[in-house]
Amino acid sequence: VNPIFGKSGTSIFEYMSRLASETGSINLGQGFPEGFEPRELIDAAVEALQSGPHQYPPMMGLPALRKAVADNAKRFLGLDIDWQSEVLVTSGATEALTDTFLALLDRDDEVIVFEPVYDAYATLIRRAGGKVVPVRLAPPHWELPREALTKAITAKTRLIVINTPMNPIGKIFDPEELRFLADLAIEHDLVIVADEVYEHLVFDARPFHSLFAVEGIRDRVVRIGSAGKSFSVTGWKVGYITASADLLQPIARAHQYVTFTTPPALQAAVAVGLNLPDEYFLGLRKTLAARRDLLVKGLRDAGFEVADVPATYFAVANVAPLDPEGDDLVFSRRLTLETGVTPVPVSSFYGDRDVKSHVRFCFAKKEETIISAVSRLRRWR
């Protein structure tokens, strides 16, 4: 049974993490960083917890954080955002997605997603009454499939969801692809949800292009960010939405009844994070790129076929040559039990679980963790 697209069973990330912890395996499956939290952020959280306040912050989020979200987007992407009317703080990107789907979908509205797709989208869209319409990207280049996408649009289509940079494949949508998406949205009167949680995790001096910056589309984009990714604090669950005031309003109404607010001390600390100098963001990219290189080389030396990783903190390996059973979930379990290294199967990113040849490894780890993982894998062959 597909644990993901079934009846909201245990997510594959939870499942593989539990298996790793039960067997003492190095967990490179679920995406969470090890040891990257900026000191300034932790200090700011401690100080805010000591000084308070501890009561409900404003429903839209602390002004300091909303300003910081707008300022960060101005600094890195050149976006002009009115923090008062165009920014909403949520409890993680997951809540941002939930609020957006609850607010914008009516029963049986269709939502186009791109496979391989982050697991939460389909479940949340369905729970909000929508219908998931997957459109598949194909390796090795993972280009936007323009023809299939255009064909997938019907009179019922309401939203397109994109994730750029894209989990698990590390794709950064290029300006021509974003233009094409924007034109489609305008032509068919659609809204695009742009999950941009990995916006700061781009490597080798590659630029990140936000859909929000594309001319003429601003009023149709729900842009989502996450402190979990930008500051390596996935447990904090602080996210943010940027959208034009008219689009944000119904989403804020949903937020009002989903979580209403997010812990104020964490909001204050994330504001400090977003205002950190450029060196922090560039330093994170540089360190992650070095870890990527270490893992990718190690995996290749151990016989895995690994694609280049332009962004995110995931490396995807084609395991077909190593996997006689041709099932990435079975392979992921086997790798965990036989080598003590845990990936996640990429089939979980497909609604039909029919692409079973790849597994994903997270490289946002300490150097020594990656070295141990790689040496375990090398011994296995």
Q: Which of 164, 167, 226, 242 touches ligand GLN (CB under 6 A)?
A: 167
CA 329, distance to chain mean position in Å, is: 21
Q: How far is the CB of 230 from ligand PMP (least distance, A)?
A: 10
Contacts 24+ apart (CB under 8 A), 321-330: 323/357, 326/356, 326/357, 327/356, 328/356, 328/357, 328/358, 328/359, 329/12, 329/356
Q: Is 91 in the site for ligand GLN (CB under 6 A)?
A: no
Write down the least CB distance from residue 31 to ligand GLN, Å.
3
First-to-last alpha carbon distance for the chain, in angstroms, is 30
Residues 5-44 that bind ligand GLN (CB under 6 A): 11, 13-14, 30-31
Q: Where are the alpha helices (DSSP H) in the chain?
A: 12-23, 39-51, 63-77, 83-86, 92-104, 119-127, 146-152, 175-188, 227-230, 245-258, 264-274, 278-301, 328-339, 367-380
Contacts of residue 22, Cβ cutoff 8 Å, sequence gap at least 6? none
30 is in the binding site of which of ligand PMP, ligand GLN, none (Cβ under 5 to 8 A by kind)?
Answer: ligand GLN
Residues 105-124: x where in contact with ligand PMP by CB under 6 A, - otherwise, as a string: -------------x------
Using CB positions, name the residue nearest to ligand PMP.
92
Binding ligand PMP (rule: CB under 6 A), the pick from 17, 27, 72, 94 is 94
Name which position in 31, 57, 273, 310 contacts ligand PMP (CB under 6 A): 31
Nearest approach, Cβ of 164 to ligand GLN (angstroms)? 15
Question: Quick one: 31 or 340, whose CB is closer to ligand GLN?
Answer: 31
Determine the size of the site formed for ligand PMP (CB under 6 A).
Answer: 14
Would you count residue 332 as binding ligand GLN (CB under 6 A)? no
Rounded Cα gap, residues 48 and 68, in angstroms: 16
The whole-angstrom separation of Cα 102 and Cα 90 is 14
**Nearer Cβ to ligand PMP, position 295 or 302?**
295
Per the CB < 8 A criterion, the answer to whether 232 and 33 are in contact is yes
In the list 195, 196, 323, 328, the residue contacting ligand PMP (rule: CB under 6 A) is 195
Please tell me the distance from the alpha carbon of residue 307 to that of residue 121, in angstroms, as a whole number. 25
The kind and range of the H/E element at 345 are: strand 344-345
234 counts as binding ligand PMP under rule CB under 6 A: yes
Alpha-carbon torsion 31, 32, 35, 38, what sign?
A: positive
Q: Which of 33, 130, 134, 228 is the binder for ligand PMP (CB under 6 A)?
A: 228
Q: How many residues bind ligand GLN (CB under 6 A)?
A: 6
Q: Minimum distance between the CB of residue 344 and ligand GLN, rounded to whole angstroms? A: 7
Nearer to ligand GLN, 91 or 167 (CB): 167
Phi, psi of 89 (to 5 degrees): -90, 135
Q: Name the nearest CA neighbour of 268 among 46, 48, 40, 39.
A: 48
Which range touches ligand PMP (CB under 6 A), out of 91-99, 124-132, 133-141, 268-276? 91-99
User: What does DSSP say about strands 131-136 and 110-115: parallel, antiparallel, or unpaired?
Assistant: parallel
Smallest gap from residue 312 Cβ to ligand GLN (A)? 9
How many other β-carbons are positioned within 10 Å of the β-carbon of residue 275?
Answer: 17
- Comparing CB distances to ligand PMP, the nearer of 191 and 362 is 362
Which residues of the shown chain bind ligand GLN in the complex (CB under 6 A)? 11, 13-14, 30-31, 167
Which residues of the shown chain bind ligand PMP in the complex (CB under 6 A)? 31, 92-94, 118, 163, 167, 195, 197, 226, 228, 234, 237, 239
